[in-house]
Amino acid sequence: MSFVETLRDRGPVRPEIAEVRERLLHGLLLLFTVLGSAPFLVGVHMTLRAGELLFTLLYAGLFLSILACTLLRRHIPYTPRGVVVLIAGMGIGAVTLFQMGLAGIGIELVTVFSVFAAILFGLRGGLALVVLSVLAISAAGFAHVSGLVTPPPSALASSLDGLAWLNAGLVFIMLALGMIFSSEILRGRLEVALNTETQKTDALLVANLALREAERATGESERRFRELAELLPESVFETDLQARLTFANQAAFTTFGYEPEDLERGLTALDMLDPGEHPRAMDQIQLALGGEGLELREYLARHKDGTTFPVLIRSAPIVAEGRPVGLRGFIIDISEKKQAEARFHAAQRMEAVGTLAGGIAHDFNNLLMGIQGRASLLERGEGLSEDQRRHLASIEAHVESAAGLTRQLLGLARGGKYETRATDLNALLERTLDLFGRTHKNLELELDLAAAIWSVEVDRTQLEQVFLNLLLNAAQAMPGGGRVSLTTRNLRLEAQQARDLGLGAGPHVEVMLRDTGPGMDEAIRERIFEPFFTTKGPGLGTGLGLASAYGIVNNHGGSIEVESTPGEGSTFRILLPAREGHAPEPGPRSADELPRGDEALLLVDDEQLILSSTTPLLKVLGYEVTCARGGLEAIEIPEQSPGKFALVILDMVMPEVNGAATFERIQRLPDPPRVLLSSGYSSEGAAAELLAKGCAGFLQKPYRVQQLAGKLREILDAKEGA
């Protein structure tokens, strides 16, 4: 700081300087009060003895003023008290100058109090007192030199010398100004030091506030992270460098079965993985702690009870002050995803097998149709012996048995339903269980059927086959006897439940079949619905029963699942879409009748075997029959003979022009005949579309002459009635 800057007005006094001044002033007042009492009494005594009453009053007034300022410190402001001290000191100094001249301590007193003035009131106060002191010295000197005041004899010589007074005044000015400026420089330096310390203190305060704010922000961020982590449905975790878990959200505790106390006992990330995963997990942890963010990886996790399940894990290092201090990540339980994938792959396999099975069943049904047709013709011939009729009945029985096998194959095929009707499952189950129970007396059969069961749209024959297959499977699992229970209930699936099962939301009927057999392990349970898979010995099973049950249920838009534990039996759960409301019970089967007719029919099929076996049957029934080998002929013949044919028996699967395209061309005729679809496939898929477009009916191959005769009259009579 320069000398000029020292002399500048510094503005308001800093609180620290003001406090120092206050303490100094109070100290001076106490000093003058305590130590000044003796000089005061001596001075009063001397002035009274000398008859100088004015000086006596002056001494008394100054002392009493100092005493008042000391005692009334808290009631008298700083400035009046300071002025009193300075006036007292300057007054004593001036009186001493006038009394003693240069021989006394007057010069020293005015010098000291000029310095006090600078300390108490700053540079300007000190300079003001210097001016007053110079005036006092000049006045005292003039009084002594001119003889206005007679000094004591000891001070007479020096007091009458004007040069001595001039010298004393110059020395006073030099000393006073020197001490004043020195004190001011010290004050300035002190202020600079205080300012510097204040700035440092302020900087520390700012830094402290910033640190507190950072800590608060960090705490707020941590709180938000915790709250967000608790909202997530997946597991969120944090670990230290030793892989000990330091945080886990509630979803993690729920998923893995642990409690917060386990965390406090030192639970590690490896405790939550299958032991076989530990080496790979440790490698990944080291990579993460090295600064690498890890992608999603699949692991086999472990519940607290030891059971395992598949998960996806992703983690990243927690970095503090530029170095990793732990890991943070999340865990996704993919058990349901894996199960869904398994169901999807199983469905794909079943679809592939079903496609193959459907093709085989179609061709086989055509062969059976040829055999059935020939047998029906021979059966209605005359002159047959009893042995011949018995052989024909046996042929038809074998055809029916083979047709049952194709029904199982078609059960595997996509869209394997034949003829669906609103059905009361309770009645169907009662009839099926009654039929089954007649031949399995060693089993205890229980029914627990819900009242007012909802209606299901199913192929009754195929559903009977499903339940018979399940019952037979249970019986074969319990050759020594056991208990089989069947229960039904109405069930409304919510959206999420339906998605988990791969079904549509809404009303369903649930059928549960439980047995008390030996149960199955996981390996067998996973393959139980695979075609041709069986645990039975040679000649005891084909492996198609449960596979066809799976296909039939799925073809009806439902689901079938199995739960089983070795030693605890098995439970099959079937869900079928339903409509609220009760369905009529299945009516009795119609008796064999052969209604006849005389209408002209067009028989369309690409298989000569079908044409050659079905044409005679139709003629036996009285109909006029024209054959068409394929779709092209089927289109040309009605166009050439408009209005001739009352009905077309149309095959679905044909080369060049299939049944669907043929039907559409026939519908364009001016007076189109009715169309009866006939196929070795089922009534689903393209056939169902044609039925919806106006096709008159569907007949599944192989059919007996009674079925053919009844279906023809049903369609033709309905047309006449219309």
Amino acid at residue number 274 = D
Choose among 333, 464, 338: nearest CA to 407. 464
Q: Specify the higher pLDDT residue, 93 or 677.
A: 677
Q: Specify the higher pLDDT residue, 62 or 132.
A: 132
Choose among 307, 303, 367, 310: nearest CA to 334. 310
Q: What is the pLDDT of residue 626?
A: 92
CA distances, 55 to each of 44, 68, 86, 91, 355 (Å)? 8, 20, 18, 10, 138
| Cα 135 off chain centre by | 92
Q: What is the pLDDT of residue 514?
A: 92
Q: Tell me the helices (H) and strands (E) count for the chain, helix number first.
A: 23, 17
Span of 401-410, 553-562, 577-586, 590-599 with lowest mean pLDDT: 401-410
Place of tokens 């009494």: 41
Q: What is the pLDDT of residue 575?
A: 93
H or E segment at 308?
strand 308-320
pLDDT at 415 over 50: no
Span of 104-108, 413-417, 693-697 with lowest mean pLDDT: 413-417
Residue 156 pLDDT grade (very low, low, confident, very high; cuts 50, 70, 90): very low
Q: Are 552 and 560 in contact (CB under 8 A)?
A: no
How far apart, in whole angstroms, are the C-alpha atoms of residue 412 and residue 407? 9
Residue 649 pLDDT grade (very low, low, confident, very high; cuts 50, 70, 90): very high
Phi then psi dihedrals of residue 510, to 5 deg:
-105, 130
Amino acid at residue number 382 = E
- The torsion defined by the Cα of 619, 620, 623 and 629, in degrees rounded to 10, comes to -30
- Using CA of residue 178, residue 180, residue 182, residue 184, what is the dihedral sign? negative
Question: Alpha-carbon Rg of the chain, whole angstroms?
Answer: 59
How far apart, in whole angstroms, are the C-alpha atoms of residue 493 and residue 559? 13
Q: What is the pLDDT of residue 571?
A: 92
What tokens appear for 615 in the block? 């044409």
What tens digit of pLDDT does each residue of 291-306 get? 666 677 888 888 888 8
What tokens appear for 193 in the block? 């030091």
Q: What is the pLDDT of residue 572?
A: 92
Q: Are 605 and 632 in contact (CB under 8 A)?
A: no
Strand, helix or coil for residue 148: coil
Q: Which of 42-56, 210-224, 612-626 has the highest mean pLDDT?
A: 612-626
Other beta carbons within 10 Å of 53: 10
What tokens appear for 578 in the block? 């339903």
How far apart, in whole angstroms, are the C-alpha atoms of residue 367 and residue 354? 20
Residue 481 pLDDT grade (very low, low, confident, very high; cuts 50, 70, 90): confident
Choose among 390, 252, 240, 428: nearest CA to 317. 240
Span of 281-295, 380-394, 395-409, 565-579 with lowest mean pLDDT: 395-409
Other beta carbons within 10 Å of 355: 13
Strand, helix or coil for residue 294: coil
Q: What is the pTM of this model?
A: 0.40
- Is beta strand 674-679 parallel, antiparallel or unpaired with respect to 697-700? parallel
- Using CA of residue 412, residue 414, residue 416, residue 420, what is the dihedral sign? positive
- Non-local CB neighbours of 496 within 8 Å, separated by 6+ positions: none
Cα angle value 170/175/181 (rounded, 5°): 120
Residue 456 pLDDT grade (very low, low, confident, very high; cuts 50, 70, 90): very high
How far apart, in whole angstroms, are the C-alpha atoms of residue 652 and residue 630? 10
Place of tokens 């490698």: 283
Q: What is the 3-state composition of the chain as percent helix, strand, coil, each rounded to the nearest 5?
A: 60, 15, 25
Q: Are 26 and 66 in contact (CB under 8 A)?
A: no
pLDDT at 333 over 60: yes
What tens digit of pLDDT does each residue of 486-498 get? 999 999 988 888 8
How far apart, in whole angstroms, are the C-alpha atoms of residue 19 and residue 25? 10
Residue 181 pLDDT grade (very low, low, confident, very high; cuts 50, 70, 90): very low
Q: Are 408 and 361 in contact (CB under 8 A)?
A: no
- Non-local CB neighbours of 62 within 8 Å, separated by 6+ positions: 87, 88, 91, 92
Q: Are 634 and 392 in contact (CB under 8 A)?
A: no
How far apart, in whole angstroms, are the C-alpha atoms of residue 80 and residue 91? 16
DSSP-assigned beta bridge partners for residue 579: 455
How far apart, in whole angstroms, are the C-alpha atoms of residue 91 and residue 70? 18
Prior bond to 672 cis, omega within 30?
A: no
Span of 101-110, 175-184, 601-610 with lowest mean pLDDT: 175-184
Average pLDDT, stretch 92-103?
70
pLDDT at 110 over 60: yes
Q: What is the pLDDT of residue 103?
A: 64
Q: Specify the higher pLDDT residue, 141 or 534.
A: 141
Q: What is the pLDDT of residue 454?
A: 93
pLDDT at 590 over 50: no
Residue 168 pLDDT grade (very low, low, confident, very high; cuts 50, 70, 90): very low
13 burial class (0-12, 13-18, 19+ CB within 10 angstroms)? middle
Q: Are 634 and 602 in contact (CB under 8 A)?
A: yes
Q: Specify the higher pLDDT residue, 258 or 45.
A: 258
Strand, helix or coil for residue 496: helix
The average confidence (pLDDT) of the chain is 76
CA distances, 60 to each of 40, 44, 46, 91, 697 (Å)? 7, 7, 13, 12, 142
pLDDT at 241 over 80: yes
pLDDT at 166 over 70: no
